[in-house]
Amino acid sequence: MKGSEVPEFPHRIDAGNFKAFFDATKQLSGEDEISLLKFAAAFCIPYNETGGSFHPTLEKGGKVWLPRTKKKDGDRKLVDFDEYGYFFWGIPGYKASYNKRDPPWTWPAGDQLQKMGLLDDKKQLEIWNGHPMWELGDPVNDKNYPKPLEDPRYPNPQSEPPKPAQRECHFFKFRGRGFTQTTGREGYIKYAEPALVPAGYKKVDELKNDELDKAFADPKVYVGVFHNELISPPGPHKQDFAKIDEDPGKLVIIGDRIAGLGANYGEFYAWRCKTLAAAMEEAGWTGG
């Protein structure tokens, strides 16, 4: 795609992946054709989640720029949370710990490792069941700034069998995948399972982490999940997308629902969708 980046749309678009994604409009939306505003609504979520690549992405751990309030590299520093620790730790102003207890949907890693027969030490069980918050501090000027991987609140296993087994624990297994970055066991059961099973895959609890990774690379799965989560979710918001044209305020509801409570993404998402639609109209889009 040609042109200069603008603040509200900073990423370039992968043209091939974009075409492949919207060639499946019928499967994505349930309609043969969609309005301009519905196109913008369907575009802006995967645009945001994939950085414009329109390739089904997998949420990955690693390093995080801290403090989150700083934007210049000289005022912040990359802090390593590791592949697993990123999902175990909560980071203020950025993300919550995924290692939560939320029955009947989600259980912390300690309970799961104990159920696997891999953990019986009471102290270790308590640590594995934790959902610690990483206090920011000043990683730039503090020479003794602590390391998340060495913090006693983080288990950081270096040996078998807990190290590979944690990949099957809920905090890691059900991290974000796909065009809507479906996250959490509840979301996987509600939105992914109805797409996985018809495509020939097992239910989410029967699939290993690596099997889920591969399944979400299958267009039959990621298109179905997108439809189930964004376009026509079960429950009270099932018709929100269908009503966008008559009630653009539904965009705020959709954005907040996809991003999660507390993210305050809905207003920005709605503005972004309307801005894109208006720019396309101004550029001469005709729908033909």
List pLDDT tens digits, range 198-253: 999 999 999 999 999 999 999 999 999 999 999 999 999 999 999 999 999 999 99
Q: Which of 127, 149, 167 is the last residue of a domain?
A: 167
As a whole number, mean pLDDT of residues 133-137 equals 88
pLDDT at 17: 93
Q: Which of 136, 167, 198 is the last residue of a domain?
A: 167
Cβ–Cβ < 8 Å for 86, 216 = no
- Judged against a pLDDT cut of 80, whether residue 2 lies above it is answered with no
pLDDT at 3: 43
Cβ–Cβ < 8 Å for 272, 287 = no
pLDDT at 71: 82
- Per-residue model confidence as pLDDT tens digits over 147-175: 999 999 999 887 778 889 999 999 999 99
Number of domains in the chain: 2
Task: Classify residue 182 by burial, with Cβ atoms within 10 Å: 0-12, 13-18, 19+.
Answer: buried
- Judged against a pLDDT cut of 90, whether residue 189 lies above it is answered with yes
Question: What is the Cα–Cα distance from 240 to 236, expressed in whole angstroms?
Answer: 9
pLDDT at 156: 87
Alpha helix positions (H), the chain: 15-22, 25-29, 36-50, 85-88, 109-115, 122-128, 162-165, 170-173, 185-187, 193-196, 209-215, 219-226, 250-259, 266-282
Do 44 and 183 lie in a common domain? yes
Encoded tokens for 276: 């894109």
As a whole number, mean pLDDT of residues 75-98 equals 93
pLDDT at 10: 65
pTM of the model: 0.91
By residue range, what is the domain housing residue 6?
A: 1-58+176-288
> Cα angle at 283 between 282 and 285, to 5 degrees?
95
Cβ–Cβ < 8 Å for 37, 244 = yes
pLDDT at 9: 61
Do 203 and 96 lie in a common domain? no
- Per-residue model confidence as pLDDT tens digits over 43-69: 999 999 998 999 999 999 999 999 888
Do 200 and 236 lie in a common domain? yes
Of 229, 262, 254, the C-alpha closest to 95 is 262
pLDDT at 69: 83
pLDDT at 1: 34
Of 93, 229, 95, the C-alpha closest to 171 is 95
pLDDT at 47: 93
What pairs with residue 66 in β-bridges?
Answer: 77
